Structure 1
Amino acid sequence: MGELLGVAAAMLSSALGGAAVGATRYVAGVIDPVALGAFRFGIGFCLLLPMALLRSGESWPAPRDWPAAAGLGCCSSVCSRCSSMPRCTTRPPRAARVALSALPLLTMAVAGVLRVEPFTRRKTVGVLVAMAGVGLALLSGLRTAPPDAWRGDLLMLAAALCMAFYSVGSRPLIRRSGPLTFTAMAMAVGALCLTGIAWQGGRFAPVVSFGTAQWLAIAYLGVFGGAIVFFLWAFALGRTTPTRVAISVTVNPVAAGLVGAWLLAEPLRWNLVVGLLAVLAGIVIAATGASHEQIGSSERDGA
């Protein structure tokens, strides 16, 4: 039951993260990506800190885990910055789908190399099937990609790699402390990093002209795209393996296409329907089977 609950939390995190893309696009043209990330992490931390202080069932990361937690917080902030920058070189939906389709494979590779999670035939097949589903959903947009789209794609791949290291590295810390306290600490470090960079470069200047709509978009991004998304991701990592968590993001671009067909009267193409079925099949394949997973020695020692 814990495995399925973890996968469900990861899928909800991915769905909310996809919805936050709209808020990001709304303000991305008037504020620097680093400043936007600072707001996202800062608001998320301010929301999570009181809940973490009041929660009695979790402990804060031990001093020996502080360097790792700080490093993972910086890693998540780098991921946020890279994922916000490609808007100038590729279309945002395409950029997001590149990262989301690559994340499961990168996470499985990182987890296997670091011996945190073993390679298994079932998970490998599930990841490949889900990625094939994302590829099918992308078929209709390949001919309309901008000439320099590869630059944005590389940035999104870098963001996916950072997220893969974050997912693999944070799991033992989450299991030793708790998803709420770990996420609050990691977001605090990420907020400090991004705020320092943005403040030094004068990147907060545009906010003086923000109206109610812009501030509501930033608040939505901080609450749903920051605090809730990262907490659900950490909650999922505490209950299932990094690969099973990461594969859940493949539902994001397909779901976005279905929402577009429903709300915006966009054509519902055959590749989107087949892609959705392939993604769901891949998630089922990877998330079922043997419930016991081998973990790395570092995680066993800390349990």
Structure 2
Amino acid sequence: MMPVNSAKRFWAGYCLAILGAIFFSAKGVVVKMTYLYEGVDAVTIIGFRMLLSGPIFLAVAAYQASKAHKGLIPRLTVRQRWQIVLLGFIGYYLSSFLAFLGLQTISAGLERVVLYLSPTFVLLITALYFKRPIAPRQWLALALSYAGVVFVFLHDLSFAGPAVIVGAGFVLASALCYSVYLIGSAEIIKVVGATRLVAYAMSVSAAFTIAQFFWVHSWAGLQQPWPVYQLSLIHATLNTVAPTFMIMWAVARIGAPLTSQLGLIGPVSVLFLAAWLLGEPITVLQLIGTAFVLTGVIVLGRGRR
């Protein structure tokens, strides 16, 4: 039995991880809707995302920096600053850009399938680099969840054309980048704190992203239809700001491997969101897969020591 405070902390992190996964996964649907407008590419998608969400992260970062200046929290060392710059580049800039490149040629469902290979990367890298054993329950939960993901999106797993293969490759690289970010953040978050790390890392990502946007499209890239701005606002707030903090708060409470594995519920949420917003049908096969994924998530929660 866990102490009451520890149990509350665990289940708070557990719920934050699930909600963060749902909100974050919904970005695939929003991005596909945005791509329907002529002239919108991956640079535009990620650029608008950070133009609208960047000021929020920058404001939080400025507040955290002022606390450090006043001595309320420890100041960052030079090494920690460079670590955050690297994490911001890999985890929120490069990972997102690669995923959006992939979404140009594959469906939101297939993107989720490939992207959620990241729990495997996290577990394996953690086991190999940090010498941490993988518990049998984690293997069982992974098996159940991945079986469910395959069921849910079996009809999307078609690599009939080179464009699909290339798109899946971009998303696979995105998953690897995000796994490295989760592992790296799990170590530094113990010293820096979740809110501070997210604010700084996302501010770094915003700087890279906005610079790329204006380098590629200049000011003319801002001339987009009003619906693109509306979808980008949803992308920036519900699919970026909210889940980013939720996931980092979850990592601080339950660790990177469990947070990453709970993210497997993301593909299931995309299934229903795509049916609602994009009119994609839900089949019996997909519902069976949903049951597998949810069972895997329950096994993770009940198996925590």
> Aligned-residue CA RMSD in angstroms?
2.6
Deviation at 1:118, TM superposition (A): 3.2
SS in 1 for 2:253: coil
Whole-Å Cα distance in 2 between the matches of residues 20 and 267 of structure 1? 19
Task: Report what 1:22 is aligned to.
Answer: 29
Of 223, 227, 234, which residue of structure 2 is paired with 1:220?
Answer: 234
CA deviation string 1:118-147 (max 9, x = no partner): 322211221121111101111222358655
Task: Report what 1:297 is aligned to.
Answer: none
Deviation at 1:261, TM superposition (A): 4.6
CA contact (8 A) 2:57 2:203 kept: no
CA contact (8 A) 1:73 1:189 kept: yes
SS in 1 for 2:264: helix
Change (3 A) 1:215 1:5: same
Deviation at 1:196, TM superposition (A): 2.2
Task: Report what 1:130 is aligned to.
Answer: 145
Task: Report what 1:154 is aligned to.
Answer: 169
Whole-Å Cα distance in 2 between the matches of residues 73 and 234 of structure 1? 13
- Whether 2:122 is the aligned partner of 1:107: answer yes
SS in 2 for 1:81: helix
Whole-Å Cα distance in 2 between the matches of residues 129 and 61 of structure 1? 43
SS in 1 for 2:230: helix
Whole-Å Cα distance in 1 between the matches of residues 210 and 279 of structure 2? 40
Segment of structure 1 superposing worse, 58-67 or 129-138: 58-67
Of 181, 194, 219, which residue of structure 1 is paired with 2:196?
Answer: 181
Whole-Å Cα distance in 2 between the matches of residues 116 and 6 of structure 1? 24
CA contact (8 A) 1:9 1:236 kept: yes
- Whether 2:100 is the aligned partner of 1:93: answer no
Of 87, 90, 93, which residue of structure 2 is paired with 1:75?
Answer: 90
Task: Report what 1:141 is aligned to.
Answer: 156
Task: Report what 1:45 is aligned to.
Answer: 54
Of 33, 44, 53, which residue of structure 1 is paired with 2:42?
Answer: 33
TM-score, normalization by structure 2:
0.85
CA contact (8 A) 2:189 2:197 kept: yes
SS in 2 for 1:90: coil
The percentage of aligned residue pairs carrying the same residue is: 20
Segment of structure 1 superposing worse, 46-55 or 90-99: 46-55
The size of the alignment, in residue pairs, is 289
Whole-Å Cα distance in 2 between the matches of residues 88 and 38 of structure 1? 16
Whole-Å Cα distance in 1 between the matches of residues 164 and 123 of structure 2? 26
Whole-Å Cα distance in 2 between the matches of residues 20 and 290 of structure 1? 29
- Whether 2:250 is the aligned partner of 1:236: answer yes
CA contact (8 A) 1:122 1:286 kept: yes
Aligned partner letter, 1:156: V
Change (3 A) 1:59 1:93: farther
CA deviation string 1:220-274 (max 9, x = no partner): 2111222112111111110112121111222122222234456776543222122
- Whether 2:279 is the aligned partner of 1:279: answer no
Whole-Å Cα distance in 2 between the matches of residues 124 and 94 of structure 1? 23
Task: Report what 2:4 is aligned to.
Answer: none
Whole-Å Cα distance in 1 between the matches of residues 28 and 278 of structure 2? 16
Task: Report what 2:3 is aligned to.
Answer: none
Change (3 A) 1:198 1:70: same
In structure 1, list runs of 5 or more residues that go unmatched.
292-303
Deviation at 1:83, TM superposition (A): 0.2
Task: Report what 1:299 is aligned to.
Answer: none
CA contact (8 A) 1:133 1:279 kept: yes
Change (3 A) 1:74 1:51: closer
Aligned partner letter, 1:227: V
CA contact (8 A) 2:29 2:108 kept: no
